[in-house]
Amino acid sequence: MRGGVASTRMNIGVIGSGKIGATVAQLAVRAGHSVQIANSRGPASLKPLEHQLGANARAATVEAAASFGDLVIVAIPFGISLALPPAPFAGRIVVDAGNYYPGRDGQIEALDAGATTSSELLAERLPGARVVKAFNTMYFATLAARGDASRIDDERLALFLAGDDAQAKAAVAELIEELGFAAVDTGTLAAGGRLQQPGSAIYNTELTRAEALTALGR
């Protein structure tokens, strides 16, 4: 896909209406997808955002947005994501756009010890979902403004993804490319997820695809 128009129109659920969630929703609608967006305060609180996003977007409950989406973006604080109801996410591609911050989310011993990653814990919480880590390393303003589908891949800013399901990663990579970024695969949820964590060399760093591959030692 090139030129900012979706090659295959998808239903996209967005859980979280903060800076990343609202930005991804806006970009997805602009790319031609249908969006349902939810937050913890309920659909009524999202009516202004629904109006701003336009006719292809609807405010919804968390359960409805998850059930609606072929692909579901989870862009809420990590601690809250561990309380999501598993059933509506079963069979969905779930994009974990969050990060673990102990000061906000509370100390989680397994994460503090490096025994697992936040995305692996989310996958355990949502056992029927196909979890992909993405949209968690880029500042929201950069995400909103710097996608450029007219550039060749090596010149686009990199958006990183990780996961254990090749088909799910391919779907997320296609969305990333539609939004004008270069999809760079960092590997599995375990190994690739660690590469995308706060404090890593690629976290919150603007890199072209070529620069990103160099940073990853490829």
Mean pLDDT, all residues of the chain = 95
HSE toward the beta carbon, residue 53, CA cutoff 13 A: 27
Question: pLDDT per residue over 9-38, tens digit each?
Answer: 899 999 999 999 999 999 999 999 999 999
Question: pLDDT per residue over 125-170, tens digit each?
Answer: 999 999 999 999 999 999 999 999 999 999 999 999 999 999 999 9
Q: 90 by DSSP, 3-state: which?
A: coil
Q: Which two tokens stand for residue 191?
A: 């190994």
Give the chain's domains with CATH numbers: 11-215 (3.40.50.720)
Q: Give the model's confidence band at 7: pLDDT under 50 very low, under 70 low, under 90 confident, else very high.
A: low
Q: Is the pLDDT of residue 69 over 80?
A: yes
- The predicted structure's pLDDT at residue 2: 36
Phi, psi of 149 (to 5 degrees): -70, -10
Q: 163 by DSSP, 3-state: which?
A: strand
Q: Give the model's confidence band at 93: pLDDT under 50 very low, under 70 low, under 90 confident, else very high.
A: very high
Q: Contact, 121 vs 112, CB < 8 A? A: no
Average pLDDT over residues 44-71: 97
Q: Contact, 28 vs 1, CB < 8 A? A: no
Q: Which two tokens stand for residue 17?
A: 């209406």
Q: How far apart are CA 146 and CA 86, in angstroms?
A: 34
